[in-house]
Amino acid sequence: MLVISGFAGTGKGTLVSALLEKYDNYALSVSATTRSPRQGEKDGVHYFFKTREEFQEMIRSEELIEYAQYVDNYYGTPRDYVEQKLAEGKDVILEIEMQGALKIKEKFPDTLLLFVVPPDADTLQKRLKGRGTETPEIIKKRLHRAIEETEYIFKYDYLVVNDQIDECVQKTHAIIQSEHFRVQRNEDFVKVLQEDMKKFK
Ligand code: 5GP
């Protein structure tokens, strides 16, 4: 399981879409949210759009592996899909904000946490305004939230600068793939090999 976080407007969505399109070992978790759909967003594809009551019911019945409040809405990760895709051997991507990311790391310590940043602050503001999906008031709130988030970047495992998107996609994929070769992530294989080697005694 891996988490991709980053300030609003960094290009996380573009990065994740490119990873899914280019490589077939990824599955993206679809979150539940109380936020209203943006133009073109489809229920069950981009998010599961829920009322506050429905969301609270999901919390009560423990359907979410984490949830958090971000600006004025709730966002959470449904458990079933993540578990199913992990069981299929996929690298499951959670594109979630920081509070949720830290909760996930606490619950599942071998989760890989990646933080995507813009090359500088002005580029971030330009991208956020340029996508035209939020009102100036919401943009301001999201930029304030981004200032708070800078404090916690050091809790993440890897930093990815999104300057050129193609390069950013390649770097992210390389980071994720190299994680598979960590000795700690291959304990079972090592144990089998250790046993097998004993035949030469
Ligand atoms: P947006 O409204 O722009 O789609 O998302 C706002 C923020 O919520 C983004 O940082 C996004 O990564 C995060 N987010 C999306 N889904 C989840 C989720 O399931 N859990 C948490 N904690 N954050 C989420």
| 131 band by pLDDT with thresholds 50, 70 and 90 | confident
- According to DSSP, the β-strands at 73-78 and 158-161 are unpaired
Architecture of domain 2-29+90-200: 3-Layer(aba) Sandwich (3.40)
* pLDDT tens digits, one per residue of 51-90: 999 999 999 999 999 999 998 999 999 999 999 999 999 9
How many CB atoms neighbour CB 54 within 10 A? 12
Which among 75, 134, 148 is the best mutation to test ligand 1's pocket, defined by most ligand atoms within 8 Å of the CB?
75
Pairwise CA distance, residues 189 & 11, whole Å: 37
The protein residue with its alpha carbon nearest to ligand 1, atom 2, reads: 35
The protein residue with its alpha carbon nearest to ligand 1, atom 19, reads: 76
Cα 100 to middle of ligand 1, angstroms: 9
Which among 97, 103, 127, 148 is the best mutation to test ligand 1's pocket, defined by most ligand atoms within 8 Å of the CB?
97
Sheet of 48-49, strand order: 48-49, 32-33, 73-78, 64-70
State if residue 149 touches ligand 1 by the CB under 6 angstroms criterion.
no
pTM over 0.75: yes
Return phi, psi of residue 76, to 5°: -155, 160
State both tokens at 85.
């895709």
State both tokens at 171.
């770097």
Q: Can you give the residue ranges of every domain in the chain?
A: 2-29+90-200
State if residue 141 touches ligand 1 by the CB under 6 angstroms criterion.
no
* pLDDT tens digits, one per residue of 42-56: 999 999 999 999 999
